[in-house]
Amino acid sequence: MEWSPRTGESAVLAGVGAVLGGATVLLDPLGRVLVGAAAVLLLALAVRDRLLRPRLAAGPDGVVVRRLTGATVLPWARLGVQVRESRRWGLRSRLLELDTAGGPDDDGELVLLGRRDLGADPGEVAQALTALRPW
């Protein structure tokens, strides 16, 4: 199974970034800097979404997480899966937490992915990963 950012959301980011980039020619110098920075940020997010597809994939060896620095394999034998919920300023946030228990010489690995990274609810992804676990 694989999880990736939703294609539609990435396309909207790219579209809004392009519109903002085009709008910079109509603004004063300070507006160009601010709107131009927002356009670059949105376009960078859209490119990141495209490059990191699929963001999370489950296979027989474990879970593969794609990052800008490369793919990381988290083996099933050491993998802990849970959902981390938090509330801040009245907003609820849910993150999928993938943790490999580190030994004495190994610090392990902690990966946190949100709904936008996965294109699905982190709780549903956690349930699917638990069901896919080989034991």
Amino acid at 4: S
pTM of the full predicted structure? Answer: 0.79
pLDDT at 61: 83
The DSSP code for 78 is: G
Residue 67 β-bridge partners: 70
Residue 71 CA from chain centroid, whole number? 13
Q: Is the bond into 54 cis (omega within 30 degrees of 0)?
A: yes
* Cα 66 to chain centroid, rounded: 9
Residue 132 near residue 108, CB atoms below 8 Å: no
pLDDT (tens digit per residue) in 58-94: 988 889 999 989 888 888 888 889 998 888 888 888 9
- With a cut of 90, say whether residue 56 has pLDDT above it: yes
Q: Please write the tens of the pLDDT for every residue from 86-117.
A: 888 888 889 999 988 765 556 778 889 999 99
Mean pLDDT of the chain, nearest integer: 89
